[in-house]
């Protein structure tokens, strides 16, 4: 089993990163983590190359991510919530999924034939509204051919308590690991 984890946290030892670590320790198989704040991935510049061509005109670390998306079984998006949304750098990485949208809707191709399972982990210290970042994460997962998505795991009130002290969240992380371990979902 291969799992791609897109980590949107800027803090290497922050709540989101610690939950990602807990998940990796609970997962079976291989995990590949893309740290949005430490990778060399530029945002989409809407050059329109992918409307008519296979691939992306920008050559950076996203090329490795594209390759892993093709072969992985699962994809997890983990992010703190900033202003009721996923973090900016994670959205930069997500914008590069435009090539899949264009393949499907402009070139009538199936860019990712292998269906995958998905999961979303959100961390926030605010008011507990997760609808917008969760919807954005699900949109990104759909563009990577993930339609079987685990219920969101969310740690709220991290301004007062670390996410790894939240028993409900830790149970949710283990639930994600069990969900992803079951034979890959096929449409």
- Domain ranges for the chain, please list them: 2-181
Q: What is the predicted pLDDT for the residue at 162?
A: 85
Residue segments in the chain with a per-residue pLDDT below the cut of 70: 128, 184-187
DSSP sequence for 49-101: HHHHSSS-S--STHHHHHHHHHH-SEEEEEEE-BTTB--HHHHHHHHTTHHHH
Find out if CATH 3.40.50.360 is the number for domain 2-181.
Answer: yes
Asked if residue 93 lies in contact with residue 39, where contact means CB atoms within 8 angstroms, the answer is yes
pLDDT of residue 186: 43
pLDDT in tens, 2-57: 999 999 999 999 999 999 999 999 999 999 999 999 999 999 999 999 999 999 99
pLDDT at 157: 81
Per-residue pLDDT, 81: 94
């Amino acid at each position: 089993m291969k799992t791609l984890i897109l980590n949107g946290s800027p803090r290497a030892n922050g709540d989101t990163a610690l939950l990602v670590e807990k998940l990796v320790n609970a997962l079976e198989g291989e995990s590949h983590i893309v740290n949005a704040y430490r990778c060399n991935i530029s945002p989409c510049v809407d050059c329109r190359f992918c409307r008519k061509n296979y691939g992306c005109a920008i050559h950076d670390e996203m090329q490795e991510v594209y390759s892993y998306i093709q072969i992985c079984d699962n994809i997890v998006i983990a992010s703190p919530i900033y202003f009721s949304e996923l973090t900016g750098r994670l959205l930069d990485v997500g914008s590069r999924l435009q090539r899949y949208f264009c393949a499907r809707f402009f070139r009538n191709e199936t860019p990712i034939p292998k269906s995958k399972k998905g999961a979303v982990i959100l961390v926030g210290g605010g008011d507990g509204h997760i609808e917008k970042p969760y919807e954005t994460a699900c949109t990104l997962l759909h563009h990577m051919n993930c339609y079987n998505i685990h219920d969101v795991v969310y740690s709220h009130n991290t301004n007062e308590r670390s996410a790894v002290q939240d028993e409900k969240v830790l149970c949710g992380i283990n639930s994600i690991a069990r969900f992803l371990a079951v034979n890959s979902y096929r449409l």
